Chain A
């Protein structure tokens, strides 16, 4: 069955450093979504990518969808303490049965 893996599992950064998490699917995706979940909270939608090679930016966050639509990345520039949380990608192969990745837990040290 379809699998979605994320690396790294954990990342500790100093405030102001950059952060990147990578998402890889075992199958070609129709679209991919990214979510942020704070400790004790629920997932919060960040973005959806649909097109091959697509790049979208939201302030300090940059999202990319690979040319083959099997991988994606989220890059945060100059992290802040408010960026703390777990970042999940969720891939859809066209059936809307979203498969969430294993998540990357980000800690930002002030």
Chain B
């Protein structure tokens, strides 16, 4: 257990539905990352926050994806109008970023299945 929690752990939804995932990082960590991982592949960067500011977002991310970290603590990732291609493990990671140090602690992930 790294101290990063994600909820729910599993989500099954029908195509076209909206889903929202939550990530609770390690409490003093200033950075929070979202990744997506499919079977046999490495994690794919989606976005990251420095405190409450969203600093980078993947160009691969369509407008259907949005993320928030309203108070610089927990974060939510919403997928609107889900598609079967969105089926994946969604991973959250947090870090206490300092110059030269960005150790990312990953949560257990939320496995999304879109039927």
Show the binding face of A for B, using Cβ within 8 Å: 31, 33, 42-45, 48, 50, 88, 90, 92, 95-103
- Which B residues are CB-close (under 8 A) to A44? 2, 106
Roughly how many angstroms separate A31 CA and B97 CA in the complex, as a whole number?
13
Show the binding face of B for A, using Cβ within 8 Å: 2, 31, 33, 35, 41-45, 48, 55-56, 58, 91, 93, 100-109
- Which B residues are CB-close (under 8 A) to A99? 45
* A50, closest chain B residue (CB): B100
Q: Are B91 and A48 in contact (CB under 8 A)?
A: no
Interface centre among A90, A95, A98 (most CB of B within 10 A): A98
Q: Are A97 and B106 in contact (CB under 8 A)?
A: no
Min C-beta distance of B103 to chain A, whole Å: 5
- Which B residues are CB-close (under 8 A) to A95? 56
Min C-beta distance of B31 to chain A, whole Å: 8
Known contacts A43-B43, A88-B43: A97-B58 contact under CB 8 Å: yes
Roughly how many angstroms separate A101 CA and B43 CA in the complex, as a whole number?
8
- Which A residues are CB-close (under 8 A) to B43? 43, 88, 90, 100
Min C-beta distance of A79 to chain B, whole Å: 21
The 6 closest A-B pairs by CB, nearest first: A100-B42, A42-B106, A88-B42, A100-B43, A97-B45, A43-B106
Roughly how many angstroms separate A31 CA and B95 CA in the complex, as a whole number?
15
Q: Are B106 and A48 in contact (CB under 8 A)?
A: no
* B99, closest chain A residue (CB): A50
Roughly how many angstroms separate A62 CA and B2 CA in the complex, as a whole number?
24
- Which A residues are CB-close (under 8 A) to B109? 42
Roughly how many angstroms separate A90 CA and B91 CA in the complex, as a whole number?
15
- Which B residues are CB-close (under 8 A) to A103? 41-42
Q: Are A48 and B102 in contact (CB under 8 A)?
A: yes
Roughly how many angstroms separate A96 CA and B44 CA in the complex, as a whole number?
13
Contact of B103 among A45, A96, A100 (CB under 8 A): A45
